Amino acid sequence: MNRAAAIARGLYIAVIYGFVLLPLVVIVFISVNQASTFPSRFEGLTGKWYQAILDHPEFLIAARTSATVALLAAIIAVVVAFLAGYALVRNKPRHGHVLETALMTPLLVPQIVISLAMLQFANIIGIGTDLAGLVAVHAVHVMPFALRLVLTGLARYNFALEEAALGLGASWWSTWRHVTIPILRPSIVAGFTFCFILSFVNLPISLFLTNPHTATLPIVMFAYMESRIDPMIAAIASVAVIVAALVTLLLEQTLRIRLVD
Amino acid sequence: MRPTTVESTAGTFGRNTATTILLVPSLLLLVLFLGLPLVVVFLSSLQPNALLKFTGPALNNYVYLTTTGYYADVVIRTVRLAFVTTVLALPLGYALAYFLRGLSGRAGNLAIMGLTFPILAGPLIVIIGWMALLADGGPLLSPLIKLGLFSRLRLVGTETAVVITLVQFVLPFVVLTLYTSLRQIPDQVLEAASNLGASASQRFWNVTFPLSLHGVLSSTIIAFSLAASSYVSPYYLGGAAQLTLTTLIAQFTTATYNSELAAAAAILLLVLMIALLAVFTAVFRRFIRS
């Protein structure tokens, strides 16, 4: 009976993981398959679809734009989230939970609504679809993820260490630099990485906010996919999948970050 | 009770001032790039436009979207898709989180990483895989047809396809939330239940499940709001025949250039989502108490 239950449990876990991960496996399969249309059966290994990406400089330019937007958005999100999280946990202000909930609201607002709102707002104040507006909405969207990770880190942080440093004559600034930030580094690094990736792969937030000069990688992929979906798009997607996988593994290995707790 | 505060030793500024200064950047970001833009959209949704002539501000755009058959269907479809997705994802995710709960350190971490991959890869990339999988003559459909289970079967362009991809999209979020909630139940509590003679199913229904209800509530909210706000799944697998509020917003904005109706659809989606979740939360809380 126990044995049967264990087998059933293992089978269930395998089926659900299969369901969740299957689309990613299929993308990698298509990207290394000879066949030029999909769905198709296996016709042999090839790297030609990855090579084909190089003939489309627009994807490489867009990847660089995405990296710039994601980098700036992640830095802004982590800095403001760290300051806010620190104040919320350290000083426990009145209505602290209300403020925390308020800072989490970007998660509840549909991303396409954020995009539309920023488009109409930008038209009024006249900043149009330049990079600054794009960075700002990406930062707002990813900030809750940074705040979550910072709050988790701060929950285990011992503030008495700061009092010790200050008591020994350290200034506020050097206490932060030599005590607070080094101890909280894992949450900060994890927050930054998550924010960067979530911004990099995001489509709906940017949907109405790009022009040909500020098109991000998902936007250029989206535009390309309007006319056709081919193995080259799968190859680009595979690169994203592999990078995301490597980054997560690296975080787990080097920082021993617990993704959930 | 702490005898001394840091501020009194540092003596530069008070606790309240420090708190305010630290919170200003995040709140400013929130107000400037989410709050104000949403106010602008709300005001724009009350204005007349190319399609509807009236003297604004008035609610005519909302009346139009909720009473015209075609658009009312879009609203109902959005809610139905989010509802069905939530109802399917919750038990599937609960069972998985329950099984993963017992995994120790490294194995647990790997299991969690497996669930974060699709989140980090992003919905646009995941949907490319789904389009290949669910396509006519694709690896999922052609075996079923060959076996004679169906004579003709088409998934792309149907609500079924949208639901399949939405369930896959929200499952990792549901499992991660429930896993955290289940891990917070101390092992001693479960051991105590067993020692007092509870059977496995008694232990689950009388101890584990009630203690995880908070996680069930959070994951329901997450699943429903993610499904209702999803753009990529209904766009690629539902298409023009299965418009939802998100794809309708895009259509108004980029195809028919009616920014007032786009604004009304956006506010409608936001308000509808928040109202439904508020009602659900209230009912759920009452249910827990009784």
Q: How many C-beta atoms surround the C-beta of residue A112 within 10 A? A: 29
Please give the CATH number for the structural domain made up of A53-255: 1.10.3720.10
Sign of the four-CA dihedral B234, B236, B240, B246: positive
Q: Do residues A226 and B128 touch, judged by C-beta distance below 8 A?
A: no
- B98: enclosing H helix or E strand: helix B69-101
C-alpha span between B258 and B263 (Å, rounded) = 9
Q: Do residues A219 and A206 touch, judged by C-beta distance below 8 A?
A: yes
What per-residue confidence (pLDDT) applies to A5? Answer: 85
C-alpha span between A24 and B29 (Å, rounded) = 34
Which residue of B128, B173, B219 is the best one to mutate when testing the A interface, meaning the one whose CB has the most A CBs within 10 A?
A: B128
> Cβ contacts (< 8 Å) between B179 and chain A: which residues?
260
Q: Do residues B184 and B54 touch, judged by C-beta distance below 8 A?
A: no
The token duo for A144 is 């809750």
Mean pLDDT of B97-124: 84
pLDDT score of A254 more than 70: no
- Report the SS3 class of residue A33: strand
Amino acid A207 reads L
What per-residue confidence (pLDDT) applies to A21? Answer: 93
Q: What is the pLDDT of residues A43-90, one digit of tens each?
A: 888 888 898 888 889 999 999 999 999 999 999 999 999 999 999 998
- A133: enclosing H helix or E strand: helix A131-155
Which residue of A113, A229, A233 is the best one to mutate when testing the B interface, meaning the one whose CB has the most B CBs within 10 A?
A: A113
Judge whether A203 is closer than 8 Å to chain B, CB to CB.
Answer: yes
C-alpha span between B251 and B65 (Å, rounded) = 14
Tokens 């079967």 — which residue?
Answer: B153
- List chain B domain ranges: 68-289
Judge whether A218 is closer than 8 Å to chain B, CB to CB.
Answer: yes
What per-residue confidence (pLDDT) applies to A75? Answer: 97
Tokens 């930030």 — which residue?
Answer: A181
The proportion of chain B whose per-residue pLDDT surpasses 70, expressed as a percent, equals: 92
The proportion of chain A whose per-residue pLDDT surpasses 70, expressed as a percent, equals: 95
| pTM assigned to the model | 0.89
Residues in chain A: 261
C-alpha span between B188 and B127 (Å, rounded) = 43
Higher pLDDT: B92 or B104? It is B92
> Which one of A20, A140, A201 has the shortest CB-CB distance to B29?
A140
Residues in chain B: 290
Cβ distance of A83 and B26 shorter than 8 Å: yes
Q: Do residues B229 and A110 touch, judged by C-beta distance below 8 A?
A: yes
What per-residue confidence (pLDDT) applies to B1? Answer: 40
End-to-end CA distance of chain B: 37
Q: Is the ipTM of this complex over 0.90?
A: no
Tokens 């979740």 — which residue?
Answer: B277
- List chain A domain ranges: 1-46, 53-255
Judge whether A136 is closer than 8 Å to chain B, CB to CB.
Answer: yes
Residue closest to A85 by CA, chosen among A24, A153, A25, A163 = A153
Q: How confident is the model at residue B2 (pLDDT cuts 50, 70, 90)?
A: very low
pLDDT score of B9 more than 80: no
pLDDT score of A257 more than 60: no
Nearest CA in chain B to A81: B26
- Report the SS3 class of residue A45: strand
Q: What is the pLDDT of residues B34-71, one digit of tens each?
A: 999 999 999 999 988 888 888 878 888 999 999 988 99
Determine the distance in angstroms separating the CA of B260 from the nearest CA of chain A, rounded to an integer: 10
Please give the CATH number for the structural domain made up of B68-289: 1.10.3720.10
Judge whether A205 is closer than 8 Å to chain B, CB to CB.
Answer: no
pLDDT score of A41 more than 80: no
pLDDT score of B210 more than 60: yes
Residues 26-85, chain A: which have Cβ within 8 Å of B? 26-27, 30, 38-39, 76, 79-81, 83-84
> Which one of B168, B228, B263 has the shortest CB-CB distance to A20?
B168
Q: What is the pLDDT of residues B61-102, one digit of tens each?
A: 999 999 988 999 999 999 999 999 999 999 999 999 999 987
> Which one of A120, A139, A260 has the shortest CB-CB distance to B44?
A120
Cβ distance of B128 and A237 shorter than 8 Å: yes
Nearest CA in chain A to B22: A83
Cβ distance of A102 and B269 shorter than 8 Å: no
Judge whether A222 is closer than 8 Å to chain B, CB to CB.
Answer: yes
Highest mean pLDDT among A94-108, B8-22, B141-155: A94-108
Provide φ and ψ at A97, rounded to 5°.
Answer: -70, -30
Residue closest to B119 by CA, chosen among A65, A254, A197, A235 = A197
Nearest CA in chain A to B260: A120
C-alpha span between A206 and A168 (Å, rounded) = 49
Residue closest to A78 by CA, chosen among A176, A145, A156, A134 = A145
What per-residue confidence (pLDDT) applies to B12? Answer: 45
Q: What is the pLDDT of residues A191-239, one digit of tens each?
A: 898 899 999 999 999 999 988 888 999 999 999 998 888 889 999 999 9
C-alpha span between B283 and A202 (Å, rounded) = 34
Cβ distance of A203 and B253 shorter than 8 Å: no
CA separation (Å) from B157 to A27, B134, B236, B238, B241? 20, 10, 8, 4, 7
Higher pLDDT: A12 or B290? It is A12
Q: What is the pLDDT of residues B127-163, one digit of tens each?
A: 999 988 888 777 777 777 777 666 667 788 888 999 9
Which residue of B13, B99, B120, B171 is the best one to mutate when testing the A interface, meaning the one whose CB has the most A CBs within 10 A?
A: B120
Give the dihedral of Cα atoms A138, A143, A146, A150; nearest 10 deg: 160
Residues 165-184, chain A: which have Cβ within 8 Å of B? 166-167, 172
- Give helix B36-45 / helix A111-125 axis angle, nearest 10°: 90
